[in-house]
Amino acid sequence: MMKKEYSAPPPVTIDPNKQYIATFKTSRGEIVCDLFAKDAPKTVNNFVF
């Protein structure tokens, strides 16, 4: 896998008032995680990016 590098952080594209959920599908089932846009907007934006 080739490593990607960016010269700047991604633009903020999330809405802090919306609910974001990440679902990871594994061979042992799904893992569902809530992403807290109001509490950690930069982290959620980077994750969604």
12 by Cβ neighbours in 10 Å (0-12 / 13-18 / 19+) ranks as: middle
Predicted pLDDT of residue 4: 84
Predicted pLDDT of residue 44: 94
pLDDT tens for the chain, residues 1 to 49: 788 888 988 899 999 999 999 999 999 999 999 999 999 999 999 888 8
